[in-house]
Structure 1
Amino acid sequence: MRRYLLALLTLAAIAWAANIKLYLKDGDYHIVREYKVQGDRVRFYSVERSDWEEMPLDLVDLKRTESEAAERNAELEKDKAAEASVHSNKGRQVLAKLSPIPMVSGKGTLELQGAHSQNVFANPEQEFYFQLSDTERFGMIKLTPKGTVRIVENLTFVPITKEVVEEPTMVPTFQKQLADGGLYKVWPRDSLEPGEYAVVEYTEGKLNIQVFDFAIQPKK
């Protein structure tokens, strides 16, 4: 359970990064996050070893690497955080459009529209990579489908102190900073069961939460 002063929710975009195959001329390859050609050397960030490495340029098949990377980049798009709404005894209101947020006593829920996410993954150990512009916290939560919505978390409003008590269903994760500049990786400690989830990013001390929803559905 976390306590935050109730504040305006700001939506932002989170990019889903993809690994790159750095091909070698012998047909083998390294899985890398990024690479740079520096003179007669290639410097790359190894996903497997989570560190920067180098190798001679003449060992690398740059043409094949760049061709495949271009094809994959064409398929990638920056997805906006899902629009959340607060559902209380006063009705349902889009959180991002409320300033200030009306504080009423009682219970409520933070919800996403739609019973299922459009972002579907088959891998129950799916890794997510994203860039943070400031020092923020992030994690993974399990969503609860209910009719035509998915519940992000339960809320309790405390008018006297102008606080809201949040009760999300957190998923234990591993988190790692991959490079300077705020590139992070987050992945579940245990395989995820089929269902609805979200990667969330929030600012400590504020209800400034950004929700990127996804679903786990094994291939049939």
Structure 2
Amino acid sequence: MASSCTGLWTPLGILILVAGPSCSRFRQNPRFVAAKRGTEVHFICQTFSSNDDVHWYKQADHKRHPQLVETSSSVGVTKNSSAIMIHIPKVQYTDSGIYFCQRNISTGDSGHALGCSCKSELKVIGFSTIKHVQSRNTLKDAIIMVQSVLLALFVSVPLLLFMGKGESKQNVGEDHTYEGLAIEQTDTYEDIGIYQSEGVKWIAGEHPGQE
């Protein structure tokens, strides 16, 4: 069976593959799956004609030619009158690759079939438990807290040092001011005793003018 596939270059230099009859006779869902290791994955290929000679193929990253997907202990392939389904109960890293449904293809047609047919990509990622996620979040929170404390110290310490220098200069100026007053007002301090004696008489009940 011949199929057509046309490449179009956009003004931005992006190559767009336009599929011909090969892709128009199939509909695959989903087109992309990123699943954690050990989870369940399904792929469905709907056909619009007889699917007697339609099969699922897988193109792995390290393999040049696509491989026929058959029922095994880790993968299940089922077929009805209008669709062909792949069921992977627990995906593993080796299940990653590009899956596509196509009519019987030979080794020589494998590259053409892969480039022009509808494709579904499966990407298996690492398994992370809730405890692992919580531990990573706790570590991130601790790092953020330490960074905040260090930032506060870097900002506050120079400010406190600057304020301390200003207060010390102000105290030195006040000391010199009081020393000058003590020297210039010596006579005034000597007269304080006279005023104090008169005040004591007035408090005792005697008028300051009655002596």
Shorter-chain TM-score: what band?
A: 0.3 to 0.5
Which structure's residues are more often helix, by fraction? 2
Larger strand proportion of the pair? 1
Identify which of structures 1 and 2 has the higher relative contact order when contacts are C-alpha pairs closer than 8 Å and 6+ apart: 1
